[in-house]
Amino acid sequence: MFTNILLNNSIRNLFFASFVFFNPSLVNTPMPVVENIETQIILRKPATELISITDSIVTPVLYTGVPEGNLATNLEQREQFINLMLPAILLAKHKIAIDLEKAEAIIKRSENGGKMRWDDFKTISSLYLRYNASNMNELRKKMQTHPTSIVLAQAALESGWGTSRFFRNGFNPFGMWSINPNEARMLSYEKRTDNYIIYMRKYETLGQSIADYFATISRVSVYNKFREANLEGKSVYEMVTYLDKYSELGEYYCGMVNSVIKNFDLLKYDNYRLPDDFTKSKTTTIEL
């Protein structure tokens, strides 16, 4: 499901053009000083202090761990999982929106005759690489996040509503594989007939794993139809049918995701949001 992203010709050209453009500064003067970046502060709490979500306005909080042990009932386990996941999902979406807004501002300033500064170039090029985009229009489309109900359903399936070892020990609720031996990862004990050894990615925070999940869905070609359906405003249930490449179970997996969404009333979370005073505050970045 995962793929290494190669530096395509368009991005290579962008790098080359940037060095031509910046060459006098790079050789004759010090690098421009990057302006102070205003970082939005996010409340961080231990998992023992989970805040219950009682309405559609969700407290912007990230938890520094996950609850230990299984709860007495499946209902309690599901509620705990949603209380943990939903704020992190909304914060990851908010960060992506901030990053896109910043990129739009840089491009607009450049088109209006302003010079692209070194830190501006780094911002744009890093986003092009992260989302495997070759131009701003493509980047804009790839940074449109999909409904929260789908994110929750996939996380619930892949992590067993937060009970899996990979979720508890590595903040990995989406079953994200690792093919890079140099990154933090965990060995999977799953036995396969082809003797392929599976490693799972290990993240420092839940927010980082969700951001990586969104980036993966955005940049990998097998999700092209899924992204198109999202941009066209198709129903959640139709969108899920294009996630057949996410799992080796194929179409059966899509049916499982849709069943979770329907059976546990996850569609309502598509209307949940962070407080306006948080999302509308003047900021340039948030730390996940």
How does residue 193 score in pLDDT terms, banded at 50, 70 and 90? Answer: low
What is the tally of structural domains in the chain? 1
Q: What is the DSSP letter of 279?
A: H
Highest average pLDDT, of 9-18, 54-63, 117-126, comes from: 54-63
157 inside domain: yes
Helix axis angle for 74-111 and 206-219, nearest 10°, is: 60
What pTM was estimated for this model as a whole?
A: 0.84
User: Who contacts 80 (Cβ-Cβ below 8 Å, separation ≥6)?
Assistant: 50, 67, 71, 162
39-70: b or e for each residue (b if 16 or more CB lie within 10 Å)? ebebeeeebeebeebeeeebbbbbbeebbeee
More confident residue, 146 or 70: 146
Task: Give the residue-averaged pLDDT of 111-133.
Answer: 91
User: Who contacts 262 (Cβ-Cβ below 8 Å, separation ≥6)?
Assistant: 237
The amino acid sitting at 210 is: I
The Cα–Cα gap between 37 and 137 comes to: 25
4 inside domain: no
Beta bridge partner(s), residue 255: none
1 inside domain: no
The Cα–Cα gap between 64 and 205 comes to: 7
2 inside domain: no
99 inside domain: yes
3 inside domain: no
* pLDDT for the residue 176: 94
30 inside domain: yes
Q: What is the pLDDT of residues 1-50, one digit of tens each?
A: 433 333 344 443 444 344 333 333 322 333 333 344 456 668 898 988 99
* pLDDT for the residue 41: 67
CATH code for the domain in which residue 196 is found: 1.10.530.10
How does residue 232 score in pLDDT terms, banded at 50, 70 and 90? Answer: very high
Q: Is residue 87 within a helix (H) or strand (E), and if so which, with residue range? A: helix 74-111
62 inside domain: yes
The Cα–Cα gap between 177 and 180 comes to: 9
Instruction: Domain of residue 171: give its range.
Output: 9-286
